[in-house]
A and B are shown apart, each in its own frame.
Chain A
Amino acid sequence: DAGVIQSPRHEVTEMGQEVTLRCKPISGHDYLFWYRQTMMRGLELLIYFNNNVPIDDSGMPEDRFSAKMPNASFSTLKIQPSEPRDSAVYFCASSSQGLGGYGYTFGSGTRLTVV
């Protein structure tokens, strides 16, 4: 398996633009998580899905952020409009049978810079 695949690896955009981050989880994993990592706040869970259904989006910072999972093999995280404070590394992770003791497999992340 190729692991969790995220694209793009790097994204530089201007303030006010729409940004879409993409994630392909490991085949067969039924949980998908979106995290944001910054120096100031560390790793923050934004939202997670189970069987393509959003379960907990309490970590989504505001309405500018939205996430979808149209099928088991694809998820997007969208920021519209983007702001400089959204600059961070965004990670996608997937796991099998939820917590179940299996842990998460993380993607390599998308480094977002909003100028």
Chain B
Amino acid sequence: AQSVTQPDIHITVSEGASLELRCNYSYGATPYLFWYVQSPGQGLQLLLKYFSGDTLVQGIKGFEAEFKRSQSSFNLRKPSVHWSDAAEYFCAVGFTGTASKLTFGTGTRLQVTL
């Protein structure tokens, strides 16, 4: 069965520092990959997605992610974090040929210090 691992439960970075959130998936097929952000009391908002093609994808709010097939990873990055980026981030994966549902990771909570 497909699975998603976000190894970091909680990360703290200083405002202005760079950020990388890790995501690994397991399954043999070509994945569709997503990153969502959830602010407190809100639903999940799509940050970016990868289907095929260029393995570096750009998203909203200055985020980007890189798909590395050899590492089964889809890490989220931002060069300079803003205090408003403090939220919970979820990686999700889906695959062609399976039921039309995404598998979500357990999330990484980002804290930004001033």
Contacts and interface: CB of A to CB of B under 8 A. Distances in A.
Q: Are A and B bound to each other? A: yes
B96 A91 contact: no
A103 interface: yes
A104 B51 contact: no
Interface stretch (A42-50, A60-68, A75-83): A42-50
A99 B90 contact: no
Contacts of B98: 99
Given A55-B99, A99-B100, A101-B49, A43 B90 contact: yes
A95 B36 CA distance: 14
B27 interface: no
A106 B99 contact: no
Given A55-B99, A99-B32, A99-B94, A105 B46 contact: yes
Nearest to A106: B43
Contacts of A93: 44
Interface stretch (B17-25, B69-77, B101-109): B101-109
Contacts of B51: 101
A104 B46 contact: yes
B84 interface: no
A25 interface: no
Interface of A: 4, 31, 33, 42-43, 45, 48, 50, 55-56, 91, 93, 95, 98-109
7 contacts: A31-B100, A48-B101, A91-B43, A99-B95, A101-B49, A103-B34, A109-B43
Interface of B: 32, 34, 36, 42-46, 49, 51, 90, 92, 94-96, 98-102, 104, 106-107
Given A91-B44, A103-B102, A104-B46, 11 more contacts: A43-B107, A45-B101, A48-B101, A95-B100, A99-B96, A99-B100, A104-B44, A104-B102, A106-B44, A108-B43, A109-B43
**Closest 10 A/B residue pairs (Cβ):** A98-B100, A106-B43, A101-B51, A99-B100, A106-B44, A99-B94, A108-B43, A43-B104, A101-B32, A42-B106
